[in-house]
Amino acid sequence: MSGGNSAFRVTALCVGIAVLYLPILVLIGYSFNASPLVNVWGGFSTVWYAQLLRHQNLLDSALLSLEIAFTASSAAVVLGTLAAISLVRFSRFPGRFLLTGMVTAPLVMPEVITGITQLLLFVSLLQTFSWPHRGFLTIVLAHVTFCIAYVTVTVRSRLQSADRSLEEAAMDLGAGPTRAFLEITLPLILPAILASWLLSFTLSLDDLVISSFVAGPATNTLPMLIYSKVRLGISPEINALASIIIAIVGSCVIAAGWLMRRAEQRHELEMREAERANAPPAVPAGGGRPSLAVRSPS
Amino acid sequence: MGSGAAINTHIMNRSGNPWRWLIILPPLLFLLIFFLVPFLYTLKISFADAVIRIPPFTDIFTRTADHHLRLTLSLDSYRRLFTDHLYALAYLFSLRLALCSTLICLALGYPIAYAIARARRSTQNILLLVIILPFWTSFLLRVYALEAIIANGGLLNTVLLKLGLISHPLIIMYTNVAMYIGIVYSYLPFMVLPLFATLEKLDPALIEAAADLGSPPWRVFLDVTLPLSMPGIVAGSMLVFIPAVGEFVIPSLLGAPGNLMIGRVLWDEFFSNHDWPTASVVAIAFLVLLVGPIAIYQHMSGRHAEA
């Protein structure tokens, strides 16, 4: 590779990352601006953060959104993991095609469409059965629906790559299929389950469109409240709120990523040691990638 | 380990095992009720008439005096879809905007994905985290954050005015340009990740072989790298294009008031005009015209991949 080429790559990376992060950094910077105008720097101040605490409806909405996100992501993790197990472990069953479609469609479905259709369902159910009243429950149900899709995709790929032979060995040693699954495979897919819970939680916490449709008039989630404020232009209080949210979510994701990487490295190390103990060194483990041998040090 | 495992697998897959329905049924039923059935209700309401009451549409099933069930289908909303040019214009506008943004994302995302794929493995993980991290932070807040940069009194104009490059602030906010910026900025990670996944698997030996045989770098790129990264290009473009067509937050916060993005038009039909039957028709047309062909395409290409 020539020097010009690598300079181009470094430039592309730097520009790309700058584009992704600049707006967020500017927003955080403005949240400490004493002046409410974006083009005037009025000095460093935490006045907007202090004002946030005085907005009771904002705190209520934040609490409501956290409750919804917690409930919805927990339910979605259970249902999505079951869907992933069904799709990976049961090769044929009536409804398999339907289930495959229903766990992938929400990933590409425009939110406005999902929101409208689900609202029409809830309205019709309310008319027929006098249940469910729009609010917490309907938002949770709607969020679970799209979160299941993300959970299934994540857990499914992990389950597909998990080594079946360990579970089979456990069953050969007398464990039932359920016990073998719970003791061998579940720990293997646990990182994927935790990651998808975190992803569901942030997606639910962030959802504006679907919530707006199914929420009903009395319920106001945090994104709905933020949207109603920022529609009218830049609000310094929302700058402060956004900075808090971004800081919390960002540090959680970085911490989770770091923990998962460490767990994975430890797991890899154990596997390598086990392999070294068992297999004769001449035979490469698994199929191996032939391209690896000719891969030049770049 | 052969026979024991084979028998166990056989038992788990045997259609007669009732226990597996304990695993399959909960997600299947949930998604049926809360994802598929809603579309049937939408289809039903698309044949109703809009009226002023709660809920704001007529019932297509009514009971006659002699207790027969009568089905009244109204095609008014479907007629409106074809007679009122607003919807056709909105579709075309949304498709064009989404297509152009997808191409810009591709042009920006390809070099980034390429650079990550060629980086050292330890750097790769960090770079990937850096690219994914914005995706985890709130979408709504990231779109809002753009406003502080592109607003008339925002950072971009302030800097350009100070530098003397422009004499009047650039009007970007509340225009189509702002929507392009918003979509490209928000969806760039969706383009980079699938591109990275294919470019990473690409064997550098092929590129070196082509270069050794005398191809100039741009020919190597066009003849080897680009065709081999086609799956990533298709996947990334889908992930950007489809949500971009139906996008609501970006056009409503950054676009001109009353812009023709279909997601925003649909929202207004629902919340401002309270015309639920027309909104249902627009939603169904949207599905048939956009999601339908793409689902069929993916199904077909999935078949090809399996074969």
DSSP-assigned beta bridge partners for residue B57: B50
Instruction: Give the alpha-carbon dihedral of B145, B151, B157, B159, to 10 degrees.
Output: -30
Task: Round to whole Å and give the CA distance between B51 and B275.
Answer: 8
What are the structural domain ranges in chain A?
7-45, 57-274
- Cβ distance B34 to A121 less than 8 Å, yes or no, reads yes
Q: Quick check: B146 and B181 in contact, CB under 8 A?
A: yes
B256 touching A (Cβ < 8 Å): no
What is the spatial distance between Cα A222 and Cα A230, in angstroms, rounded to a whole number? 12
Count the helix, strand and coil residues of chain A and give each as a percent rounded to the nearest 5. Answer: 75, 0, 25
CB A85, CB A156: distance < 8 Å:
no
The reply to whether residue A226 touches residue B140, judged by beta carbons under 8 angstroms, is yes
Which one-letter amino acid corresponds to residue A25? L
On whether the CB atoms of residues A93 and B20 are closer than 8 A, the answer is: yes
For chain A, the residue count is 298
* 3-state SS class at A106: helix
Average pLDDT in chain A: 85
Tell me what pLDDT residue B302 has.
65
Closest chain B C-alpha to A39 CA, distance in angstroms: 5
A186 and B CB contact within 8 Å = no
Contact between residue B306 and residue B75 where contact means Cβ atoms under 8 Å apart: no
Q: What are φ and ψ of residue B174, in 5° steps?
A: 60, 35
Tell me the three state secondary structure of residue B119: coil
Task: Write down the pLDDT at residue B7.
Answer: 44
Backbone angles phi, psi at B70, to 5 degrees: -110, 135
Q: What are phi and psi of B50, to 5 degrees?
A: -80, 130
* A67-101 per-position pLDDT tens digit: 999 999 999 999 999 999 999 988 888 889 999 98
Nearest CA in chain B to A291: B203
User: What pLDDT does residue B5 have?
Assistant: 44
ipTM of this complex: 0.84
Cβ-proximal residues to A212 (8 Å cutoff; 6+ apart), any chain: A115, A224, A227, B271
Note which residues in 43-72 of chain B have CB less than 8 A from chain A.
45, 55
- A143 in helix, strand or coil? helix
pLDDT of B303: 62
Kindly list the structural domains of chain B, giving each domain's residue range(s) and its CATH number in brackets, ordered by start.
84-274 (1.10.3720.10)
* Mutation site, A1, A11, A41, A108, interface B, largest B CB count within 10 A: A108
Q: Report whether B244 contacts B98 (CB < 8 A).
A: yes
Report the C-alpha gap between B198 and B237 in whole angstroms.
13
For B71, phi then psi, to 5°, come to -105, 120
How is residue A220 annotated by DSSP? -
Residues with pLDDT less than 50, chain B: 1-15, 307
Q: Is B139 on the interface with A (CB under 8 A)?
A: yes
Answer whether B48's CB lies under 8 Å from B277's CB. Answer: yes
The CATH number corresponding to A57-274 among 1.20.120.550, 1.10.3720.10, 1.10.10.10, 1.20.1260.10 equals 1.10.3720.10
How far, CA to CA in Å, does B180 sit from each of A45, A54, A64? 34, 37, 33
Q: Please calculate the CA angle B69-B74-B77 and round it to the nearest 5 degrees.
A: 150
* Distance separating alpha carbons of residues B179 and B255, to the nearest angstrom: 6
pLDDT at A4: 55
Q: Is B188 on the interface with A (CB under 8 A)?
A: yes
d(CA A111, CA B184): 18
pLDDT at B54: 72
**What's the farthest any 2 CA atoms get from each other in chain A?**
73
Sequence letter at residue A21: Y
- Answer yes or no: are the C-beta atoms of B188 and A20 closer than 8 Å: yes
Residue A131 DSSP label? -
**Low-confidence residues of chain A, pLDDT below 50?**
1-3, 281-298
Question: How many Å apart are CA B60 and CA B76, to the nearest integer?
Answer: 13
pLDDT score for B94: 94
Chain A residues 49-68 with CB within 8 Å of chain B: none
Cβ atoms of B156 and A265 within 8 Å: the answer is no
